[in-house]
Chain A
């Protein structure tokens, strides 16, 4: 079974530029999550989708971050404009539904300079 796919794996941008990350969850998984992991810390939830609806985006900095899952499968996370403190790994994860085991992708590593 294929895992959670993410791209790009690595991205370096200058502050105030924009960046977008893509995620393809495990086939059949209705719930999709985006987590932010700053170096040396545990992942922190940014946003959770159930199919194409947002369940929790309470920790998403909405002035600069946006995410969508238009057809209930793939998802895109965008940052515009980026700040230095956005340097982190952005992890996409999915589960069959919200109460099931959550599986993570390899992450997209962002460096803002």
Chain B
């Protein structure tokens, strides 16, 4: 079946450094991916999304890269701040199912050291 996975459960970075969070997906038919940030005690917060007809998309301090050849997705956070500390999930939208259903990975915990 389909699955979306993240490479590392925990990533620790120094404040001000850039962070890279990786995600691998298994369904080559997937064509829409989303990154969510989840802080302790809160619901997932939309960060950025990308469709399969793109390789890169930039937001404010965040960039998502999509490599369809190896089925790999990454989230880059520039100048990481203490407020970026959270669990980050990549999610796959099964658009072929016409439901908008999201398949989430396990999540990567980002720890920002002052």
A7, chain B: closest CB distance, angstroms:
13
Chain A: interface size category: 20 to 34
Query: Interface of B with A (CB < 8 Å)?
Result: 4, 34, 36, 41-46, 49, 89, 91, 95, 97-102, 104-107
Stretch at the interface among A11-19, A42-50, A62-70, A77-85: A42-50
Known: A41-B106, A42-B106, A44-B104. A98 touches B98 (CB 8 A): yes
How many residue pairs link A and B with beta carbons under 8 A? The number is: 59
Query: Any chain B CB within 8 A of the CB of A104?
Result: yes
A101 with B46, Cβ < 8 A, contacts A41-B106, A42-B89, A42-B107 known: yes
* B46 and A102 within 8 A (CB): yes
Given contacts A31-B100, A48-B101, A104-B45, 6 further A-B contacts (CB under 8 A): A45-B102, A56-B99, A56-B101, A99-B100, A101-B46, A102-B102
